Amino acid sequence: MGRRAVVVGGGIGGLATAIGLRRRGWTVTVLEREADLPTTGTGLGIWPTALRALDTLGVGAQARRRGRPQLGGEFRRPDGTRIATMDTDRLARRHGDTVHILGRPVLLRLLAEALPDGVVRFADPVTSPADLAADHDLVVGADGLRSSVRSALYGDRYPLRHAGVVAWRGLASLDVPVGGETWGRGSKFGVTPVGPGRTNWYAVRAAPAGWRPADGHPAELRRVFGDWHDPIPRLLDTMDPAEVLCHDVHDLTPLPSYVDGHVALLGDAAHAMTPDLGQGACQALIDAVVLAECLGPDVDVTAGLREYDRRRRPSTRRMVALARGAGRLARLRRGTRLRDAALRLAVVAGPPG
């Protein structure tokens, strides 16, 4: 009888893990608390290293077809003057590929289609992760920022850290040719074109944990960003207040290990990071591929998980720190000229790939 794995969480990391483990001979069940895959969501920038992970899973070509290459990216000030421009041609020369924009629902559907019917069990929340170990050779916690599997391993010893900001997200029925971010004082606004007549936007401003605007989200967004350069006011004019998402931004205190015996954590459950580098989904895909590589047919599970931890924990901890640093840089209220110079240097040095 083959080895059996259970994956808690049917998001990007969980589905990718199921594909990878099945390709290594495992029998896999994915337990997802939601009733179905989401039909709405933000656009994701899938960087070259994550595209290679999708290639390893056998779905890279489909991801490129269903997504669209990022044509460029600009960093601007609120008055529209340019701080820096991302050179996508240089990125392609350096990494052999460029960033592809893919809607989160599209990527989830693509991964789910690569799995046989019955592998993913929807509307099946996990209340006691420890109970899963008795019937499985491997338990994978891919259950996100507030992971129940992580809590079972560590309790509250490694808490979430508030990043000092509140964020809004929305989808506008508007064409924006090139994405990018605009950095103000203590705030920023970003746009991501995801298809004809469809643009994701997000807005961030410094705020304490739990803060919400007294006058409502539309009024606050227009107060902070309404006089910024085009197309930001037009994007705000299209928003449906009922569809605007608002949430505090957190990352995770670094864990001492992503594994314990026959249990592994990946994605946000292991190393939740702020979205400032656009790497959350990418790192979850890489986690999934490395985990599967470390758990081949003849590999002891405990030894394989130690190798997964050795390969993934140092690099993802650096990414968490880089993202946190980038977020702090973006929300500076003073010294913005030095901040802009640092941003230009970072763009020239190149992205994480």
Strand partners, 198: 195
At the topology level, CATH places domain 4-72+102-160+251-329 in FAD/NAD(P)-binding domain (3.50.50)
Structure tokens at 136: 């499985």
Q: Is the pLDDT of residue 347 over 80?
A: no
Share of the chain above pLDDT 90, in %: 71
Residue 151 or 335, more confident: 151
Q: Is the pLDDT of residue 1 over 70?
A: no
Instruction: Report the pLDDT value the prediction gives residue 352, as an integer from 0 to 100.
Output: 55
Maximum CA extent, the chain: 65
Task: Note if the bond before 241 is cis, omega within 30 degrees.
Answer: no
Q: How far apart are CA 244 and CA 242, in angstroms?
A: 6
User: Under a CB-based contact definition with an 8 Å cutoff, are residues 190 and 152 in contact?
Assistant: no
Give the model's confidence band at 348: pLDDT under 50 very low, under 70 low, under 90 confident, else very high.
low
Confidence (pTM): 0.94
φ, ψ dihedrals at 181, nearest 5°: -130, 150
Q: Which amino acid is at 121?
A: R
Instruction: Report the pLDDT value the prediction gives residue 87, as an integer from 0 to 100.
Output: 75
Q: Is the pLDDT of residue 93 over 80?
A: no
For 173-237, the three-class secondary structure string (H helix, E strand, C coil) is CCCCCCEEEEECCCEEEEEEEEECCEEEEEEEEECCCCCCCCCCHHHHHHHHHCCCCCCHHHHHH
User: Under a CB-based contact definition with an 8 Å cutoff, are residues 22 and 155 in contact?
Assistant: no
Classify the phi-psi angles of 64: left when phi > 0, otherwise alpha if psi is within -120 to 50, otherwise beta.
alpha
Structure tokens at 155: 């309790």
Q: Is the pLDDT of residue 51 over 60?
A: yes
Q: How far apart are CA 276 and CA 255, in angstroms?
A: 20
DSSP 46-73: E-HHHHHHHHHTT-HHHHHHHSEE---E
* Total Cβ atoms within 10 A of residue 141: 29
Structure tokens at 24: 């290594």
Instruction: Report the pLDDT value the prediction gives residue 296, as an integer from 0 to 100.
Output: 92
Q: How far apart are CA 236 and CA 75, in angstroms?
A: 19
Query: pLDDT for 128-181, tens place per residue?
Result: 898 999 899 999 999 999 999 999 999 999 999 999 999 999 988 898 888 899
Query: pLDDT for 202-241, tens place per residue?
Result: 999 999 999 999 999 999 999 999 999 999 999 999 988 8
Query: pLDDT for 180-199, tens place per residue?
Result: 999 999 999 999 888 788 89
Each domain of the chain, given as residue ranges in start order, spans 4-72+102-160+251-329
- Lowest-pLDDT choice from 5-14, 44-53, 54-63, 189-198: 189-198
- How are strands ordered across the β-sheet holding 68-69? 43-46, 100-103, 68-69
Q: How far apart are CA 24 and CA 138, in angstroms?
A: 13
Instruction: Report the pLDDT value the prediction gives residue 338, as an integer from 0 to 100.
Output: 84
User: Under a CB-based contact definition with an 8 Å cutoff, are residues 189 and 181 in contact?
Assistant: yes
Q: Is the pLDDT of residue 351 over 70?
A: no
